[in-house]
Structure 1
Amino acid sequence: MQETKILWADDEINLLKPHILLLNEKGYQVTTFTNGNDALEGFGKEHFDLVFLDENMPGMSGLETLSAIKNVSPDVPVVLITKSEEENLMEDAIGSKIDDYLIKPVNPKQVLLTIKKLIDNKRLVSEKTSMAYQQDFRRLGMTLNDRLNYEEWVEVYKKIIFWELELEKLDDQQMHEILTLQKSEANMQFSKFIEDNYMDWVNGNGKPPMLSHELLKKKVFPLINSTTPVFFILIDNLRYDQWRVINPLITEYFRIDEEDMYSSILPTATQYARNAIFSGLLPLDMEKRHPNLWLNDDDEGGKNMHEEAFLGEQIKRSLRKDCKFSYHKILTYDDGKALVEQSANLMQNDFNAIVFNFVDMLSHARTDMQMIRELANDDAAYRSLTLSWFEHSALLDLLKKLAQKNVKVVLTTDHGTIRVKKPSKVIGDRSTNTNLRYKQGRNLSYNDKEVFAIKNPNDAHLPKINISSSYIFAKEDSYFVYPNNYNQFVNYYNETFQHGGISLEEMIIPIVTYSPR
């Protein structure tokens, strides 16, 4: 391991020789200076991992040297050594971004503790995190071989995301690769689980999880009353891990009343999953009950243009009482800004449904734009872009305003998304839809082992375009490619984020209820 290099500036450096000898014995390389000017010059000539500065030196003071060093390299930790704890001195030091301070006379143990806290802490945390994951890796591996129910799959997925976010902080490529393999194994087993159980779920057999069409009735409508407006906020295409990274910002203003997970229906696509949420119906029932609103894959026009009408019908059907509600779809920053400005008017409603489309647009932009591909070149970067959007979004501005009111906020999504890596060949006629994670059409030709096929869509409460239509769903991280233009398709779509199929990321998604702090 490379030696830790320490710069120590003190006009009485000779008195500190015992400290410096001890540090050298412990494997630290210490370079000493007797004044701030020389220290700053030395700092500019080589790399140091940590700086100790005496506060009271002739010429440049410790605080002046601190400020100059931070201007050169703001990330290097600096420790101020002072004879007093005067309030104004500490305020100046903190304002100059001091990392720690010691009071004279310092003893060697204090110095060692400070070094370990500022330098070795990252290494120690890294080692402990890697060791803890290695232990959990074995437990998770054994769990994946069990016959899990839906609740147990939720816990497995949460655990995988926990480690993904923890290991993201470490520069340990081997651990990342191990986790990636384990996540892939989990998705393979989860796909088998869905194949074995999905048809029972949509037909109400066994013990189905909460599905898209039950979301409002089970989780949101019971919150509606005459005194507390309910805000139902749906961020399109938001995965559980993305929610995890934006949630700390939300909980600065709100407390979590309930955190739950539900399963998106298939296909995990907006046209099906989100329409099911707002209508309270499975797709086949939407087509039958609302033929004027439901559009099939081959119909012209936007497929989710009637959510407000679907919502109104579901409110009438489920609540059976007057409910003043609003529906807003936010596609641009200006849309969001306008909504924030009229937030006081929304307080007059019993229920407000708001759809934010940014994350969905981000996933599509990542496919279509090279610059976004480079900015979101993996899951960690994709999360980072989501967080950056949220920090500066109209949604956060809206939440800050709502936090000052007596409201309930329910935050969720309609489905997640997965980064696809494995092309799967499929052949279909001209009427076959274009989605890369599911196909609906006649005479589909495919590899049976690579898909979940539903030969009779009506059995899964899915509409069919014609009497011989069937559906196939991509599993794990595969995506459908036509044999003609195969290489062109693969070059364009490989490693892009897609949805519509079967994976932990697409199907297991959060619904969280908040109250203002």
Structure 2
Amino acid sequence: MINILWVDDEIDLLKPHILFLEKKNYDVTICTSGTEAIEILDKQNFDIVFLDENMPGLTGLETLNEIKEKQDNLPVVMITKSEEEYIMEEAIGNKIADYLIKPVNPNQILLSLKKNLDHSRLVSEKTTSNYQQEFRKIAMDMAMVNSFEDWVSLYQKLIYWEIQLEDIEDAGMFEILESQKTEANIQFGKFIDKNYANWFKPNTEAPIMSHTLFKEKVVPEISKEQPTLFVVIDNLRYDQWKAFEPVINNYYKKEKEEAFFSILPTATQYARNAIFSGLMPSDMEKLFPKYWKNDTDEGGKNLFEAEFLETQIKRLGLTNLNYEYHKITNLKLGKRLVDNFKALKNNDLTVIVYNFVDMLSHAKTEMEVVKELASNDKAYRSLTLSWFKNSPLLEIIQKAQHMGFKLILTTDHGTINVKNPSKVIGDKETSLNLRYKTGRSLTYDSKDVFVAKDPGEIHLPAINMSSSYIFAKGDLFFAYPNNFNHYVSYYRNTFQHGGVSLEEMIIPLVIFQPK
């Protein structure tokens, strides 16, 4: 039974309401002052309190403060004759559960009870029911998808339902969604097999991709009238963006949200260099050999993003563009940029690459504590949100909003939780990534991979004349036959990137104006 404490100095006038609730099987305890209410709460547990704002002695707001000091999580519904704004603000500031204006009718009271006490159950039941209806539609859509726009739409729908279902206690529904995501990735792999190489042919309709993103989507947003902050968060999946979108919405108003496609391999050295250079990897290797490194070359693979950006800006004829590039790879650098952010106000464009999510995914592979904290997609989202809310990046965004910057937020590629091994054999020169391989004489299971026998066809550099590329599909990861079981147990259920999946390839670009 639900126990209600109702505090009102005119409680006798509320008898019809109390009788109505008792007929609905609620147990109602009454009292006529704030002081009495505090004494009762010290002796007895309640599920919710209805509290009159205007009482002699201890006022409603004073009573509310005392209740919250003792039982911060106890829902309190404030009931008042007054519509004065300061009273509403005080009550809301003290985390009231609801605010009702007298005279209230019994159904208003009942609605408030349902909203506060049955909310989780009602939402859970309705969400489950809605997804059950949507399940058939998604299944039918999946059979009909034949364009990159359709795949973006379908993937966004799957993410929407994944986030809706994550808080309900119906494991069966979540398993159904997971199986639907798996099936979607199987079909998406077939779509990439059939269409990816064509996207690079002249006069063929293609999505915005890593190498066209800056020119097509960022440059049109830059102006001399308003500074622009362009933030590239490494390795950010679409669902992770959705997890912290509400935080950014406190400071910025979303103007546009689009998805674009990461190039293959969905790996930082390929996709992020492509964003900043405006070129595909084979062109980077040919035109800028001193900046480009292949998989088997020694040294860092993303050391020249600033130089690549400079060459693209010159190529686009943006000679009067006043811009700066910053890469944040640790907390100290992030805090330093926060402290010096005011110095950026005269830039037309400030570019920030923020490395954290990629480090998080690699840490999950190597550290047991992170494996516990990010054991699945839901936990991975939660961990990303926790990082973002406490990061210098959020402080940078707050400062940018205060200074009137336009904000453009994106990433280089996503990541996928790998579950199943696929055997591969290659020579000593074969690249090491778990989701793609490049080298000579690769032996693999053809059904598990997207193959580029001629790397030039998809604008990738060949390490030698007979090199090919293979990309793992879905949630697969490559494993060598030697020491197979140890290798598989170590890497299974880790977040990897480089291959073909919705999670890695379809990624967000969001444009905001400051509030």
Q: Tell whether the structures are fold-level matches, with TM greater than 0.5.
A: yes
Tell me, yes or no, if the aligned pair for 1:221 and 1:319 is still in contact at 8 Å.
no
What's 1:159 paired with? 157
Tell me, yes or no, if the aligned pair for 2:238 and 2:508 is still in contact at 8 Å.
yes
Map 1:135-146 onto structure 2 (within 5 A).
135-146=133-144
What's 1:114 paired with? 112
What's 2:205 paired with? 207
Assess, with a 3 A threshold, how the Cα gap between structure 1 residues 71 and 175 changes in structure 2: closer, same or farther.
farther
Tell me, yes or no, if the aligned pair for 1:9 and 1:39 is still in contact at 8 Å.
no
Which stretch of structure 1 is more off in the superposition, 288-297 or 247-256?
247-256
Deviation at 1:457, TM superposition (A): 1.5
Residue 175 in 1 paired to residue 176 in 2?
no
Matches of 2:375 and 2:275 in 1, distance apart?
31
What's 1:398 paired with? 396
Amino acid at match of 2:445: N
Matches of 1:342 and 1:330 in 2, distance apart?
13
Tell me, yes or no, if the aligned pair for 1:43 and 1:69 is still in contact at 8 Å.
no
Matches of 1:406 and 1:72 in 2, distance apart?
42
What's 2:376 paired with? 378
CA deviation string 1:143-194 (max 9, x = no partner): 1001420011111111111112222233332222221111111111111101
What's 2:490 paired with? 492
Map 1:21-420 onto structure 2 (within 5 A).
21-30=19-28, 35-36=36-37, 39-44=40-45, 48-52=46-50, 66-67=64-65, 69-80=67-78, 94=92, 96-100=94-98, 108-204=106-202, 206-319=204-317, 321-420=319-418
What's 2:419 paired with? 421
Which stretch of structure 1 is more off in the superposition, 444-453 or 348-357?
348-357
SS at match of 2:144: coil
Tell me, yes or no, if the aligned pair for 2:38 and 2:66 is still in contact at 8 Å.
no
Tell me, yes or no, if the aligned pair for 2:408 and 2:511 is still in contact at 8 Å.
yes
Deviation at 1:490, TM superposition (A): 2.3
Assess, with a 3 A threshold, how the Cα gap between structure 1 residues 58 and 258 changes in structure 2: closer, same or farther.
closer
Assess, with a 3 A threshold, how the Cα gap between structure 1 residues 488 and 254 changes in structure 2: closer, same or farther.
same
Matches of 2:24 and 2:305 in 1, distance apart?
67
Tell me, yes or no, if the aligned pair for 1:409 and 1:513 is still in contact at 8 Å.
yes
Amino acid at match of 1:231: L
Which stretch of structure 1 is more off in the superposition, 410-419 or 104-113?
104-113
Matches of 1:500 and 1:286 in 2, distance apart?
19
CA deviation string 1:218-263 (max 9, x = no partner): 1122344444433321111111122223233323333333322111
Amino acid at match of 1:211: M
Which stretch of structure 1 is more off in the superposition, 481-490 or 267-276?
481-490
Tell me, yes or no, if the aligned pair for 1:415 and 1:509 is still in contact at 8 Å.
yes
Amino acid at match of 1:414: D
Assess, with a 3 A threshold, how the Cα gap between structure 1 residues 139 and 459 changes in structure 2: closer, same or farther.
same
CA deviation string 1:485-507 (max 9, x = no partner): 22222222221111101111110
Deviation at 1:7, TM superposition (A): 4.4
Tell me, yes or no, if the aligned pair for 1:40 and 1:68 is still in contact at 8 Å.
no
Amino acid at match of 2:207: P
Matches of 1:383 and 1:103 in 2, distance apart?
39
Amino acid at match of 1:344: K
Tell me, yes or no, if the aligned pair for 1:52 and 1:80 is still in contact at 8 Å.
yes
Tell me, yes or no, if the aligned pair for 1:237 and 1:414 is still in contact at 8 Å.
yes
Amino acid at match of 2:370: I
Matches of 2:6 and 2:457 in 1, distance apart?
75
Q: How does the TM-score come out when normalised to structure 1?
A: 0.89
Which stretch of structure 1 is more off in the superposition, 187-196 or 109-118?
109-118
CA deviation string 1:382-408 (max 9, x = no partner): 222222222222222222222244543
Deviation at 1:84, TM superposition (A): 7.2
**Aligned with residue 502 of structure 1, among 488, 496, 500:** 500
Matches of 1:80 and 1:358 in 2, distance apart?
43
Which stretch of structure 1 is more off in the superposition, 18-27 or 6-15?
6-15
CA deviation string 1:393-427 (max 9, x = no partner): 22222222222445433221110111111122222
Amino acid at match of 2:40: A
Matches of 1:108 and 1:255 in 2, distance apart?
38
Tell me, yes or no, if the aligned pair for 2:49 and 2:75 is still in contact at 8 Å.
yes
Deviation at 1:475, TM superposition (A): 0.7
SS at match of 1:145: helix
Amino acid at match of 1:36: A
Amino acid at match of 1:423: P
Assess, with a 3 A threshold, how the Cα gap between structure 1 residues 41 and 270 changes in structure 2: closer, same or farther.
same
Map 1:419-458 onto structure 2 (within 5 A).
419-458=417-456
Tell me, yes or no, if the aligned pair for 1:36 and 1:61 is still in contact at 8 Å.
no
SS at match of 2:196: helix
Matches of 1:222 and 1:55 in 2, distance apart?
53
Matches of 1:481 and 1:465 in 2, distance apart?
21
Assess, with a 3 A threshold, how the Cα gap between structure 1 residues 204 and 87 changes in structure 2: closer, same or farther.
closer
SS at match of 2:471: strand
Tell me, yes or no, if the aligned pair for 2:54 and 2:80 is still in contact at 8 Å.
yes
Deviation at 1:43, TM superposition (A): 2.9
Which stretch of structure 1 is more off in the superposition, 412-421 or 174-183?
174-183
Matches of 1:86 and 1:324 in 2, distance apart?
50
Deviation at 1:377, TM superposition (A): 2.0
Tell me, yes or no, if the aligned pair for 2:409 and 2:510 is still in contact at 8 Å.
yes
Tell me, yes or no, if the aligned pair for 2:145 and 2:151 is still in contact at 8 Å.
no
Which stretch of structure 1 is more off in the superposition, 33-42 or 9-18?
9-18
Matches of 1:376 and 1:495 in 2, distance apart?
10
**Aligned with residue 480 of structure 1, among 475, 478, 481:** 478
Tell me, yes or no, if the aligned pair for 1:55 and 1:82 is still in contact at 8 Å.
yes
Tell me, yes or no, if the aligned pair for 1:429 and 1:442 is still in contact at 8 Å.
yes
Matches of 1:410 and 1:105 in 2, distance apart?
48
Assess, with a 3 A threshold, how the Cα gap between structure 1 residues 41 and 240 changes in structure 2: closer, same or farther.
same
